[in-house]
């Protein structure tokens, strides 16, 4: 089977590439050109929530949003407790426990401790607590914005170029 036969049989890869291309372009223009910020946080978040199958994209989006907010809240609480490098491992462990046993949303559950680390690292990198808190929240906002753009582009493509639920177009 040639690579062209694979493209005709299963368009998911092409669909996903188009999704990533469009969403990356939108984020690059909005975040770098309009907001004058580095778009890498938003782009990486968009990639994590994008999927050629809308049902899976929605699951990823929901899990990413909930676990990002959990990680942000946990990070803020630990930032408020004071300035020490030891807060990072404790905050990450606490976030994992909260995500695993309280929120119990396994999709994107790794996002919660990652977000807590982003918020706390922002706090540790700046000399005053308020600047660090602001930097951490700014990164979280970029992550959430990337999620929103990712799901919006996935939804738009699912309307313009719908894929069959199984993902394969041959013989169905």
Q: Which residue has the higher pLDDT, 76 or 28?
A: 28
Give the pLDDT confidence score for residue 170 in this predicted structure. 43
Calculate the alpha carbon distances from 168 to 1, 58, 70, 72, 101 in Å.
15, 20, 36, 38, 37
* Average pLDDT score over residue span 38-67: 89
Confidence of residue 126 (pLDDT cuts 50, 70, 90): low
Model confidence band, residue 22 (pLDDT cutoffs 50, 70, 90): very high
Tell me if 107 sits within 8 A of 60, measured CB to CB.
yes
76, 133 Cβ separation under 8 angstroms: yes
* Residue among 83, 113, 82 nearest 96 (CA): 113
- Cβ neighbours of residue 50 closer than 8 Å, sequence gap 6 or more: 16, 19, 20, 23, 57, 60, 150, 151, 153, 154
Does the pLDDT of residue 120 top 90, yes or no? Answer: no
Mean pLDDT across the stretch 143-165? 90
Local confidence band at 96 (pLDDT 50, 70, 90 cut-offs): very high
pLDDT band at 79 (very low <50, low <70, confident <90, very high): confident
Q: Between these two residues, 159 and 127, which has the higher pLDDT value?
A: 159
Q: What is the mean pLDDT of the chain?
A: 84
Asked if residue 131 lies in contact with residue 137, where contact means CB atoms within 8 angstroms, the answer is: no
Q: Is the pLDDT of residue 10 over 90?
A: no
**Per-residue buried b or exposed e for 60-76, using 16+ beta carbons within 10 Å of the residue's own CB:** bbbbbbbbbbbbbbbbb
CA neighbor of 125 nearest in space, from 79, 93, 91:
79
Q: Please state, in angstroms and rounded to a whole number, the distance separating the CA atoms of residues 77 and 32.
A: 30
Reported pTM: 0.79
Helix axes of 40-49 and 129-160: crossing angle, nearest 10 degrees: 40
pLDDT above 60: residue 154? yes
pLDDT of residue 167: 44
Q: Does residue 97 have a pLDDT over 80?
A: yes
């Amino acid at each position: 089977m040639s690579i062209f036969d694979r493209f005709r049989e299963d368009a998911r890869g092409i669909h996903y590439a188009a999704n990533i291309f469009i969403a990356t372009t939108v984020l690059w223009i909005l975040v770098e050109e309009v907001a004058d910020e580095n778009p890498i946080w938003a782009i990486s978040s968009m990639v994590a929530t994008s999927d050629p199958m809308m049902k899976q994209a929605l699951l990823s989006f929901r899990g990413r949003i909930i676990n990002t907010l959990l990680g942000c809240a946990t990070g803020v609480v630990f930032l408020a407790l004071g300035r020490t490098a030891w807060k990072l491992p404790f905050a990450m462990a606490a976030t994992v426990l909260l995500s695993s046993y309280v929120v119990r949303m396994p999709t994107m559950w790794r996002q919660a401790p990652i977000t807590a680390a982003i918020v706390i690292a922002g706090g540790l990198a700046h000399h005053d607590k308020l600047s660090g808190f602001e930097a951490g929240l700014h990164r979280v906002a970029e992550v959430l914005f990337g999620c929103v753009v990712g799901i919006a582009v996935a939804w738009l493509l699912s309307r313009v170029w719908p894929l069959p639920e199984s993902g394969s177009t041959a013989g169905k």
